[in-house]
Structure 1
Amino acid sequence: MGQGRVLVVDCAPGTTALTELAELTRLGLEPTVSLRRVTDPELRSRIAAQWRTVDFDGFAEEQLARQLEDGGVGYTALKCRAGIPLTEAVLERATSDSLRHRLVLAGRAAAGADTFDAAAARRLGVTLLTTPGANADAVAELTLALMLDALRGVSRRAQALREGSWAAATANLPTGSLSGARVGLVGSGATARRVAELVRAFGAEVWVFGSPRFTPERAAGWPGRRVGALEELLRSCDIVSVHVPATPETRGLIGAEELRLMRPGSVLVNTARASVVREADLDRALRDPASGPWHAAVDVFETEGTGFASLLGDNPHCTLSPHSAGMTRSAMQEASRRLVAGFARHIAEHGLSLPAADRRPADIGDRVV
């Protein structure tokens, strides 16, 4: 088996990075690690002492493409955690026949791959791997926390007390609660199921609107009632929580019309993808007492990172969270472990490179909707 090269755009957090890089090396992949998002000086030094390092912005398409070309050397594999722009243009440059190592494998230690061009990857023979379900517990935990904050106003009341206003801190009491509430889940994957289990423990009733794969037979073992239409769920639930991936089918799934169907006083939680709930529509609905949900809690935004901007930023009826739902140590360690295992399976089946005449269609890591 020949030696391959892997570009690690962002490694696992903390010392898990060392384990991850050692495992990739053991698989016959020579890592080159970008230190751009490694902030711990000691960890940076330990990585640099054992592996080749670079420093570039993995979210900048041109920089990513240039690094994957690496002066004509190229890479066999790419590993990341965040949603880097693995576009058609980047993939074409990374798979050029002029490179000594063409890209055949790209993995993201996360559930979604919406910033990867899957069609281009299939055409160019690049296998895409993701880790659906690895962070289900973590996302479900924050979803529950956001539901409780929306209902009980924990963060708003804490801020009022810091500003010295007991009256503002105790406004709008008594509040709603999960006990006796009807929680509607949009999505029927691993995270949605875990949310269902958690809210049931608080005494909530659960309704679920899933993908076409969520048949009555599959729903039979669920801790909740299967609903056949999104509109029925929106009209009937006190809390609606979104748990679907970003796909062409889910883009704009919940917009102004759908928000108007929600009950007065209801709550919307989105820890899935920003594209599923139209941000501008949600902002308008929250500012109109006669239209849509009373409060929202959002962990995902159209513009994130250092350039963060959102209409919801100054909306007093929205709890904000910085896309952190899946960022627990245990979840990120599990995602790293699963991705390395996926790399190992691919290498066992295909080796570290594929000749041009044997480029196979890419496999997309199972996405749970």
Structure 2
Amino acid sequence: MADIAPKRDRLKVVVTRRLPKAVEARLAELFDVSLRETDTGMTREELAQAMRDSDVLVPTITDQIDAGLLAQAGERLRLIANYGAGVDHIDVASARSRGIQVTNTPGVVTEDTADMAIALMLAVTRRIPEGLAEMQSGRWDGWSPTAHLGGRIGGRRLGILGMGRIGQAVARRANVFGMQVHYHNRRRLRPETEAELHATWWESLDQMLARVDILSINAPHTPSTFHLLSARRLKLMKPTAVIVNTSRGEVIDENALTRMLRAGDLAGAGLDVFEHGHDINPRLREAPNVVLLPHMGSATVEGRNEMGEKVIINIKTFADGHRPPDMVLPSML
């Protein structure tokens, strides 16, 4: 850990991963901060020590903070200011029971993630990675009227699973491309929002899946969404359908998805997240009709800096004795 010289009466903040330089510099101005020297995740032992040594922990999605780890935190830790919107890697209920508040950074990654969802739809349906590989290898020998034939996304039925901020941003973009927007959500949107998005609600996820051409997954990982797209549900989809996932890998039964893609029971998939983190099924990696990205959905300079700004606001508000604006409660999950 690289320690910045402390000042009296400043909160001790430990950051678990390297953050953008501007964010780290601002944290150092405001707090007694320990920064990570290398961009590697902390071990469980390092996390436990960081939680004992800090008033505020700033983790990321790569830090699994469960009940057992929280039990080692001691009495000092009072805030976990997550750098990211998703908090499924944090046992929020256990943290709250120990008097530890949890915050996140909602809304910041909405537009960037929606952009990536559309990019993956285009990459899969227009076979962009195949064309790129051919050009980079020097195998291209000229234009042909039957080469690299993909499909247009205009006119296709897009099913959106999860119609929160990101799902709605995807719908707005899909409208521009001339897609028909359908969605399934725990709660139906207000009529005026449906009208704005030109979106059709399906109470039954099964019925929607059977009718869409492209499925965009924008649902969080919770106990109720784990393997929501099970083998049974995946089999409901058309063999010409494409799945895009920019939310959480655990929402899909990845083994079932891999089998269906390899068997031709689904036309393709664009995945930015995976069920087992960076441990990706080799058979999925080798599938020719799949585009895989290394969790890049929110990876823009603007987005990362805005996430840092939200973390700082949450910590500063907490330090001033007020409720942080982005408080996460177990009832919200």
Which TM-score applies when normalising by structure 1? 0.80
The SS at the match of 1:301 is coil
The SS at the match of 2:269 is strand
Q: CA deviation at 1:80?
A: 2.6
For 2:116, the equivalent position in structure 1 comes to 142
Q: CA deviation at 1:302?
A: 2.9
Q: CA deviation at 1:213?
A: 6.2
**Alignment gaps of 5+ in structure 2:** 1-7
Matched to 1:336, the amino acid is: G
Distance 1:265 1:132 in 2: 34
Q: CA deviation at 1:220?
A: 4.7
In the superposition, relative to structure 1, how do residues 135 and 196 fare at CA in structure 2: closer, same or farther (>3 Å)?
A: same
In the superposition, relative to structure 1, how do residues 257 and 109 fare at CA in structure 2: closer, same or farther (>3 Å)?
A: same
Distance 1:368 1:223 in 2: 27
Matched to 2:81, the amino acid is: G
Task: Report the identity percentage.
Answer: 26
Query: Retained in 2: the 8 A contact 1:286–1:294?
Result: yes
For 1:53, the equivalent position in structure 2 comes to none
Query: Retained in 1: the 8 A contact 2:244–2:271?
Result: yes
For 2:294, the equivalent position in structure 1 comes to 322
2:50 is the alignment partner of 1:76: no
Q: Over the residues paired in the alignment, what is the CA RMSD in angstroms?
A: 2.8
For 1:110, the equivalent position in structure 2 comes to 84
For 2:37, the equivalent position in structure 1 comes to 35
In the superposition, relative to structure 1, how do residues 169 and 134 fare at CA in structure 2: closer, same or farther (>3 Å)?
A: farther
In the superposition, relative to structure 1, how do residues 258 and 215 fare at CA in structure 2: closer, same or farther (>3 Å)?
A: farther
In the superposition, relative to structure 1, how do residues 266 and 57 fare at CA in structure 2: closer, same or farther (>3 Å)?
A: closer
Query: Retained in 2: the 8 A contact 1:301–1:310?
Result: no
Distance 1:333 1:367 in 2: 28
Q: Residue 247 of structure 1 is aligned with which of 222, 227, 239?
A: 222
Which TM-score applies when normalising by structure 2? 0.88
The SS at the match of 1:206 is strand
**Alignment gaps of 5+ in structure 1:** 38-55, 353-361
Matched to 1:65, the amino acid is: A
Distance 2:237 2:332 in 1: 25
Query: Retained in 1: the 8 A contact 2:245–2:270?
Result: yes
Asked which structure has the greater RCO (Cα within 8 Å, sep 6+), the reply is 1
Deviation string 1:202-243 (CA, Å, 9 cap, x unpaired) is: 111111111236465754543422221211221111100000
Deviation string 1:187-213 (CA, Å, 9 cap, x unpaired) is: 111111111111111111111111236
Q: Residue 222 of structure 1 is aligned with which of 172, 187, 197?
A: 197
Q: CA deviation at 1:167?
A: 8.0
Matched to 1:34, the amino acid is: R
2:259 is the alignment partner of 1:284: yes
Query: Retained in 1: the 8 A contact 2:108–2:306?
Result: yes
2:328 is the alignment partner of 1:364: yes
Q: CA deviation at 1:85?
A: 1.3
Matched to 2:57, the amino acid is: L
Deviation string 1:173-197 (CA, Å, 9 cap, x unpaired) is: 5421111111111011111111111
Distance 1:336 1:297 in 2: 28
Q: Residue 269 of structure 2 is aligned with which of 296, 303, 327?
A: 296
Q: CA deviation at 1:349?
A: 3.3
The SS at the match of 1:286 is helix
For 2:68, the equivalent position in structure 1 comes to 89
Deviation string 1:79-100 (CA, Å, 9 cap, x unpaired) is: 1333311111221111x24xxx
Matched to 1:312, the amino acid is: L
The SS at the match of 2:90 is coil
Distance 2:44 2:328 in 1: 22
In the superposition, relative to structure 1, how do residues 199 and 211 fare at CA in structure 2: closer, same or farther (>3 Å)?
A: same
In the superposition, relative to structure 1, how do residues 351 and 5 fare at CA in structure 2: closer, same or farther (>3 Å)?
A: farther
Distance 2:58 2:155 in 1: 44
Deviation string 1:95-144 (CA, Å, 9 cap, x unpaired) is: x24xxxx1110011211011101121121111111112210111111111
Q: Residue 347 of structure 1 is aligned with which of 319, 324, 333?
A: 319
For 2:4, the equivalent position in structure 1 comes to none
Matched to 2:276, the amino acid is: T
In the superposition, relative to structure 1, how do residues 257 and 129 fare at CA in structure 2: closer, same or farther (>3 Å)?
A: same
Query: Retained in 1: the 8 A contact 2:63–2:89?
Result: yes
